[in-house]
Structure 1
Amino acid sequence: METRSNHVLVGAVVLILLAVLALFIVWLAQLSGGNDREYDIFYKQSVDGLSAGSQVTFSGVPSGQVKEIAFWQPDPSLVRVRISVKPEVPILEGTTASIQGSFTGPSSVQLDGATKGAPPIECPRERPRAACPLGVPVIPTKTGGLGALLSSAPRLLERISTLTERLGTLLDDKNQASISGILSNTNRLTKSLADRGPEIAATLAETRTAIQQFGNATEQIGTLAATTNGVLSDDVRPTIANLNRTIASARKSMETLDATIGDARPGVQMLSKKTIPEIGQLVQDLRVMSTSLASVAEKLDQGGASSLVGSPKLPDYKPSKK
């Protein structure tokens, strides 16, 4: 009976110690990181070098650690990295995350780019699933540092390989002979230009003189144009003014003549309709009268004045001889 009581007492003591140890562990967990904030980062590049427990820095200052690395099932090209940072770290809008690689040690997550006065990155109240698919805020990424270099290394090596192959094709024996010929021709051309240096200098001097003469001629043409404008302004404009006055006077005279013709039109019509026929009749009467006078004059000439009042004298009768 006494041995059984001892076992119960020992079991109770062990249970109490385990409970105290569990409470102590929970207290330590709360003391060490209970208030840390969690964020998700979605990378399209390789996260080689990162692992759970890797360091998270903000502008080079240690600020947290990586908690989880996993594929993002809706889009397999993305890798989700869950980090936890201290509450005093300013994760504001404008903050970006990049992978800081190292050849000698593990990679780390580098945070930077916070803007003064910007609000913190949080899940919105409206449609939170769109901005925070797993319930925690998302920090946007940027490619930079050694991580960017390592991610682009395969493409860079491929381009270097292509460039090397093209250089090899360019510098084969045939192209080398062509390049040698081009260099030889270039040397001969350079030598010919050096030999003709004085002639080229003389040609340039003549060209400079011609350009100067052309400039002088242009200036003279400008002066002539200004003089022509002055002549036109001083001589032609008064003449044009006189011509305008003459045209105005002629127009006024034409208007006066039109008015005079209009006033004389009734008299002209009367002359053509009445006076001219009467003059024609008078001329006809005068013609008849002149004919009569001519006949009287002829009678006076032949018979004298008596021929006008008596009948003409009959001729003497003479009997015919048988």
Structure 2
Amino acid sequence: METRSNHVLVGAVVLILLAVLAIFTVWIARLGGTASKEYDIFFKQSVDGLAKGSAVTFSGVPSGQVKDIALWRNDPQFVRVRISVNDDTPVLQGTTATISGVGFTGVSQVSLDGARKGAPSITCPDQPSPNDCPYGVPVIPTKQGGLGAILNSAPQLLERLSTLTERLTGLLSDRNQASIAGILENTNRLSDALADRGPEIAATLAQTRIAIQQAGDAAQQIGQLAQTTNGVLADDVKPAMQNLNKAIASAQQSADTLNAAIQDARPGLQAFSKQTIPEVGQLVRDLRVMSQSLSSVAEKVDQQGAGSLIGQQKLPDYKGK
């Protein structure tokens, strides 16, 4: 009975010591370890190669591990990945997460990068919305990495590759091959013809170069002529135009003066035309009659002498036979 009691006592003491040792070990581990923070990442892509315990790196530095992987119940297109990182990891505003492969082993890891100096840490707001912190921890936005881009674009790449293969097959049919061969043959003939006409082409190019040079000289001369013409217009034509304008102004002034004089002389001209001109006409007629009379008298004096003006003409004496 006493032996049995001793065994129970010894067993109880051993269990107490083991429990104390376990508690001490956990305490030591907590003292020696570092605190960690948890974040959620929602990937809209395949997470092949990622599993619980997979590494989490920040700019290539190991900083934590993956704690949980599950489909997001609100939207099955997304995969929720819960990660735990060291407390001193700078998960700040602007930090993004991607999935990257580790060598050629098929194992993947979560890569964080993009922290900016002075930016605030990613935290949950005081009143988080379902999109901010749906599971009570901050959410790190994603950025499509090289592996994710390849995996997401693989179907489109395969479809385009298939379409390209079909088009190449149709392009390389027997008929098209014959056409391509004809085109190549014509190209060879054209190349040979151009090679044979090389000297003529060179001469033509030389003449073209000379013609272009002459055209440039002619354009320069035309420019000089235009400058000279502008100078002549400025030096000679403009003063002449000014003198002509002055002459026109003077002529206009003279015409105005003449018009005024005519207006003033118009009453006298009307009286002259109505009274004086008829009287002058009558005077001219009288002078014409008087002139005729004087002509008759002069003729009579010439024929009969001055006595004819005093008496009558004496008849000759008649003598009988």
Q: Same fold (TM over 0.5)?
A: yes
Unaligned runs of 5+ in 2: 287-321
Deviations 1:162-211 (A, max 9, x none): 32332222222222221111111111111111111111111112211221
Measure, in 2, the Cα distance between the counterparts of 1:13 and 1:129. Answer: 52
Aligned to 2:123: 122
> Does structure 2 conserve the Cα–Cα contact (< 8 Å) formed by 1:101 and 1:145?
no
TM-score by length of 2: 0.72
> Does structure 2 conserve the Cα–Cα contact (< 8 Å) formed by 1:93 and 1:120?
yes
Aligned to 1:55: 55
Deviations 1:239-286 (A, max 9, x none): 211111112223333444455566668xx39x979x999x69x97xx9
More displaced 10-residue stretch of structure 1: 220-229 or 63-72 = 220-229
- The letter of the residue matching 1:88 is D
Aligned to 1:188: 189
* Within-5 A mapping of 1:210-221: 210-221=211-222
- Following TM superposition, by how much is the alpha carbon of 1:130 offset from its aligned partner in structure 2, in angstroms? 3.7
- Following TM superposition, by how much is the alpha carbon of 1:32 offset from its aligned partner in structure 2, in angstroms? 7.3
Deviations 1:75-128 (A, max 9, x none): 221111110100011111121111111331521111112112221111233654
3-state SS in 1 of match to 2:107: coil
* Within-5 A mapping of 1:1-322: 20=20, 23=23, 27=27, 30-31=30-31, 35-102=35-102, 103-125=104-126, 127-257=128-258, 260=261, 268=267
Deviations 1:214-246 (A, max 9, x none): 222222222222222222222221221111111
In 2 relative to 1, CA 22–144 (structure 1 residues): closer, same or farther, beyond 3 Å? same
- Following TM superposition, by how much is the alpha carbon of 1:147 offset from its aligned partner in structure 2, in angstroms? 4.2
Measure, in 2, the Cα distance between the counterparts of 1:224 and 1:239. Answer: 21
Measure, in 2, the Cα distance between the counterparts of 1:65 and 1:174. Answer: 61
Unaligned runs of 5+ in 1: 291-322
> Does structure 1 conserve the Cα–Cα contact (< 8 Å) formed by 2:66 and 2:84?
yes
Measure, in 2, the Cα distance between the counterparts of 1:28 and 1:152. Answer: 50
Aligned to 1:298: none
Amino-acid identity (%): 67
TM-score by length of 1: 0.72
- The letter of the residue matching 1:246 is A
> Does structure 1 conserve the Cα–Cα contact (< 8 Å) formed by 2:57 and 2:110?
yes
3-state SS in 2 of match to 1:131: coil
- The letter of the residue matching 2:137 is V
